């Protein structure tokens, strides 16, 4: 489907791995110019090489997003190269296990910088250019904001903040014609998820139990399924959709798994 994103400059934070890589790939397939922002140039370049091998176009912008100054610099570098920004995907983050019982103030604040503060900063610095292009914003979030998980206070708080910012920005930016939406992830198999599951005593058994709790199809959501929703929300095909928090999760968050 032609979503009208050809040669649109879209920033994707954390766009080199996992869900972010899926988003970058989907955007490139639509002909967008993908600005991958992440801390590791080698990771960024690997994702770019894959995109270029299939005829897409992407560029690397190295930034440690927990550093406010590097967030600003990344946006400035994108503008320096392209002269505009046509959309922003806030995606970077990590479920880092900063909990209530054994956590610390320092760890909690560091996690917020890694998972929430850069969402605000990238949007803040990109906003003058998004106003000119009426470019949309899509925030990637997690079901832990709704369900909790246990042992991940900071990540849960960050995702609650992502949802709140989505609705707040949708209101604030109405006057500029800028749409803001969120896509919520529940169980999505990524390299990071694979790394985590393999640290457990019985990974295959645990994985089977997780699959059984996912109502639609008893399977995990793929990064490509997340990406397709994100790309749709960036396109004019979703031109009257804003302030929405959309769950691409096979019904995991809201359907009663005990009855399925």
Name the region of 31 (left: φ>0; alpha: ψ -120 to 50; beta: rest): left
Q: Whole-model pTM?
A: 0.94
Q: Count of domains in the chain?
A: 1
35, part of any domain: yes
Give a yes or no: residue 220 inside a domain. Answer: no
Whole-number pLDDT of residue 260: 53
Tell which residue, 80, 94, 112, has the closest CA to residue 38. 94
Residue 65, pLDDT score: 97
Instruction: With respect to residue 92, please indicate whether it lies within any of the assigned structural domains.
Output: yes
> For residue 182, what is the DSSP state?
E
Under 8 Å CB-to-CB from 49, ≥6 apart: which residues? Answer: none
Q: What is the pLDDT of residue 194?
A: 81
Alpha helix ranges (H) inside the chain: 18-29, 41-53, 68-82, 105-112, 118-133, 144-147, 153-172, 191-197, 203-212, 223-234
Backbone angles phi, psi at 10, to 5 degrees: -120, 125
Half-sphere exposure at residue 130, Cβ-oriented, CA atoms within 13 angstroms: 26
Q: Cα–Cα distance between 143 and 157 in angstroms, integer?
A: 11
Question: Is residue 139 within a helix (H) or strand (E), and if so which, with residue range?
Answer: strand 137-142
Residues 213 and 96: their CA atoms lie apart, in Å, by 23
193 domain-assigned: no
CA 99/CA 246 separation, integer angstroms: 27
Residue 197: inside a domain: no
Distance CA 172, CA 150 (A): 33
**Element housing 88 (H / E):** strand 87-90
Q: Given 33, 119, 129, 155, which residue is catalytic?
A: 155
In a domain, 68, yes or no: yes
Chain centroid to CA 228: how far? 12
Q: What does each of the 260 residues of the chain score in pLDDT, given as a tens digit?
A: 689 999 999 999 999 999 999 999 999 999 999 999 999 999 999 999 999 999 999 999 999 999 999 999 999 999 999 999 999 999 999 999 999 999 999 999 999 999 999 999 999 999 999 999 999 999 999 999 999 999 999 999 999 999 999 999 999 999 999 999 999 999 998 887 888 788 888 889 989 999 999 999 999 999 999 999 999 999 999 999 999 999 999 999 998 766 55
The C-alpha atoms of residue 249 and residue 180 are separated, in whole angstroms, by: 20
Structure tokens of 229?
């929703």
Assigned domain for 243 exists: yes
Is there a domain that residue 44 lies in?
A: yes
* Residue 104: CATH number of its domain: 3.40.50.720
Three-class SS of residue 36?
A: strand
The residue segments making up the domain with residue 100 are 9-188+225-251
33 belongs to the catalytic site = no
């Amino acid at each position: 489907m032609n979503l009208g994103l050809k040669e649109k400059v879209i920033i994707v934070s954390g766009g080199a791995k996992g869900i972010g890589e899926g988003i970058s790939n989907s955007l490139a397939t639509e002909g967008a110019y993908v600005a991958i922002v992440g801390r590791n140039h080698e990771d960024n370049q690997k994702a770019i090489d894959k995109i270029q091998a299939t005829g897409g176009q992407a560029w690397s912008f190295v930034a440690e997003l927990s550093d406010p100054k590097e967030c600003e610099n990344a946006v400035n570098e994108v503008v320096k190269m392209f002269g505009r920004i046509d959309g922003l995907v806030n995606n970077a983050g990590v479920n880092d296990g900063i909990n209530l019982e054994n956590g610390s103030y320092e760890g909690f604040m560091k996690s917020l910088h890694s998972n929430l503060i850069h969402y605000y900063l990238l949007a803040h610095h990109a906003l003058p250019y998004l106003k000119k292009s009426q470019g949309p914003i899509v925030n990637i979030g997690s079901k832990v904001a709704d369900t909790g998980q246990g042992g991940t206070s900071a990540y849960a708080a960050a995702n609650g903040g992502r949802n709140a910012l989505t609705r707040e920005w949708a209101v604030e930016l109405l006057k500029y014609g800028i749409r803001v939406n969120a896509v919520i992830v529940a169980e999505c198999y990524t390299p990071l998820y694979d790394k985590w599951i393999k640290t457990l005593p019985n990974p295959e058994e645990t994985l089977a139990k997780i699959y059984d709790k996912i109502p639609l199809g008893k399977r995990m959501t793929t990064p490509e399924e997340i990406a397709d929703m994100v790309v749709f929300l960036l396109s004019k095909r979703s031109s009257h959709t804003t302030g929405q928090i959309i769950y691409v999760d096979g019904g995991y968050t809201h359907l009663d798994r005990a009855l399925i």
